[in-house]
Structure 1
Amino acid sequence: MVAHFLRLKLTLLGNTLRRSIWQTIGLCFALLYALFAVGGLVIAAIIGGGMDPLLTGHVITLAGAITVLCWWIVPVFVFGVDQTLDPQRFTTFAIPHRALISGLAVAGLVSVPGVATALAASGSALAWWRAPWLIPVALLGAALGVVACVVGSRAVTTALAPLLESRRYREVVAVVAIVPLVLIGPAIGWASEEIGAVSKEASGGAVTVTADGSLFTAVLARFGELAAWTPFGAPWSLPVAVHEGAWGVVAARLAITVGTIAVLWLIWTRSLAKALVTPSVGGGKGVRSKGLGWFGRFPATPVGAVAARCTTYWIRDPRYAAGISVIFLMPVILWLPARSSDNLELLLLAGPVVAWVLAFSVSNDVGYDYTAFALHVATGTTGRADRWGRALPVLVFGTVLVVLIALLTLALSGRWDLTAPLLGICLGTLGLTLGVSSVVSARLVYPVPKPGESPLKSPQGAAMATMLAQFLAMIVVMLLALPLLGIGIWAMASGNLVVGVVTLVIGLAEGAVLLVVGIRMGARTFDRRAPELLQQVQAFP
């Protein structure tokens, strides 16, 4: 049964690549990059093992702990559950539950991240080449670490998927998923305190830091020991404990690893069993509404109708919730590292980043419409009405939000002298990115969760197409923003008021011009490709 799942996963992957040449190219680039990165990591492990095996073991423990944490968090926050083999599609085949779980677990490794993780984990065992008898122990730890990655990822995403079907819980899940990002600042401060403590001990002679007196080695050893006692780092630390002859520690860490995998397997099994018996239908309970909502607030024109519908999406569609949570938490995310580094000017990045995220959010609005896009084609909605209708909500509400965030960060950092250049960069970024998004959304569409589905779901082939489209659009945005960013950085560095005002003027002018040009180009492309766009969204898996 496991072999059958592997063949099915490879067949589906091959069909996806044959359907889209761009996905094939993107997969090739991703594989080459992954092989290059894995090769570099394995070589570093071999060299480190030859110089200091114990220190290398601590580094591998830290890297493994971070890898497991990323496998658990990133799919929830970015891509969601891989739906290439959607378990609900096997409901009518009466497959034994244990066989279904095992097949899905093994098939979960058939991806670029899965292959890269397995190769890197196996190659890390070569760090113990000076003590060959430890290589089997390292391979066992690596295998358990990879199992923890896959099973943990599936357990977390499967357990959380039903929650996002309810509007009450999706914001909570989004905040929980963003916690690791928020903790970056405290982690850096904690690391600094640990380094200071070790340095104090070393200078006072209270303890022997290392055999060669290396402070850096002592810090890595301390963090490696701490990570080794967590479910994330325990499997990777087994060869270190065996090397030191601490058999009690080996048994304890092995128990932590096996216990964690068992708990995660149980969570995944029960969550999947519940999902197969009572599959989620999304949407939650209906809510009575009075009046026409946003359709009564916007003008009764084609542009107003599209703008009202898009505004309703932003407020009520759970698929937009993750992006909104990032926007509102951006000042908090930047506040922590800025506070720990005593450089509050880092907060000023929040405004431009929020402007970019907001404006780029409409780059795949056609994909989010799904079959509802047929209304635009059937009613003969012009490209101009469609492009302006999608851009106006972001332009109106986004301008207010970006300005408020910029003023907030200026107040927190105490740099009111940078008001003009910062507002110029923020508003210019909002306008030019919105213009680029208006063109991109008429040219490139990629699969997204369908209306009513959980935002955690990621349709087949969506990850590669999403990354490729966003990468191309980001390149264009960066190239167009270079003049504005250049003069803005000059104004902030020099503190010249005149240059700051010039930055504001250039930002407003460039943002407005590129917005109008982008909408006109997008409108012409939309008028020419509307039927083709409808075919593409209807063909989404």
Structure 2
Amino acid sequence: MVAHVLRLRLALLVGALNARPLVLLRRLAGFAVLALAVAAVCVALIRLDRVPDGEAATLTVVGSSLLVAGFFLIPLFSGVEDPLDPRRFVVTGEEPGRVAWSVALASPLGIPGLVVVAVAAAMIAAWTGHGSPAGLAVLAALLLVGTSVLAARCAMAVSAVALRDRRSPQLTGLMVTAAGVVAIPVAAFAFSLEWSGGLPSQLTEAAQVLAVTPFGAASAIAVRSGGELVASMLVAVGTLLALAALWQLLVRTLMTSTERVVPVGERRGLGWFAVMPGTPGGAIAARSIVYWFSDPRYLANVIVVPVASVLIVTPLLVVGVPLQTVALIPPPILALFLGWLVHNDLAYDSTGVWLHISAGVRGVADRLGRLVPIVLVGVPLLALAITASIWIHGRWAVLPALVGVCVSLFATGLGLSSISSVAAPYAVSRPGEGPFEQPQRTGGSTTQALVLLGAILLSAPALWWGWLSLAGDEDEAWTSFWSGVGVGAAVLVVGVAIGGALFERRTSRTMEFAETL
């Protein structure tokens, strides 16, 4: 099977030259430009023996991280056609596992695979030229090639499973937003670098961070030692194994599921319902998104919260607190209130909640579906706010701490809100009324305060270690990050589970409440 796929891969490469003269000329020109670019990169890598060891390590780690990120993001967002799509091997009767390994082993023979192989070979020369053991250099290169190839394979498979035949303005907007979440922080970091006779300190700090992430861990193996080497190796090997398992799962899904054929005359006017999965949670998410982007009551919250998070810290600037310190305060406030926004989401649904109850929707599906809109809104807002804050602050070493604090406040707020919106909903303005018209109600202030206070208390570990990193102990930044992500994820999962159970137990009370709105 492997030999058969290899022959197919070579035949595809040769077949690319069998085209009309103009098409062939364009392809040859593209190949020539790509070859020159790759050759220039390889020569630059080989000539790194003229720079100090630290600078060479920084450049190789950052460069390989960008390479791996490109192999994952470009196939995912470009929607390129996969010449070795596993679905094409269904007619052979082969097992999905054999197809997965055969396609993965043949992938380096393509143009992208040859590029990463050439770059990895040049990196071996660069690493050994700076004293790295040959064995570690070869291992790092193999892991880099394997990670890049499998990342591209998984990205193309995800695009085939989730994005094919679902192109829509809504999906395009999601893709643009996701690209912006990735590109804007990177661009802000690049513009903040100050080149003065050597590599900027921010670039060195970024390399140290990337060395323990799935993007840069493989290349970092050749330039680290001791405990740092072990950490990078564990991350690199774990990433490769995770991608291999994901690739196996995606191939099995592609080869065992039936592809939907859309009739020529079919109209696609379902909007978000065509983008979201065809599950109860997906339908609730699509309906909630429509409400969030069309109901003035929701839009007012989305507009007010970011503005308020900035205005709250204005008095600190007036009394003389340095701008570099004040800049770090708005993102946590924004994260806290974004997680809090859905603490009474069920009340805004009015009588529409009877659809969920009468259809017997599971409580977890209801809770998860209602969180999707705030996640779609909150993640880009927080990405922009965190990037702007760190840019103004000037110390990118505290970025993990700020991310950990914001993730903890946002996720714990969502988890507690998933419980409070079912356990203690209170009256709000009716559909069609102004967003600032509030009816007579009781109990709302207690619910609001409990969610806010609970999110702050649960995020105390991340806040404490974040404060220590800001005070000068930058090693605590990663402690704050992991504690924030861990606590936030745990509270979110538990909150959704408890909220789902309460939703199923309190159906009669929920209907009574909806009828009184």
The TM-score with structure 2 as length reference comes to 0.47
The TM-score with structure 1 as length reference comes to 0.45
Taking CA–CA contacts closer than 8 Å with sequence separation of 6 or more, which of the two structures ends up with the larger relative contact order?
1
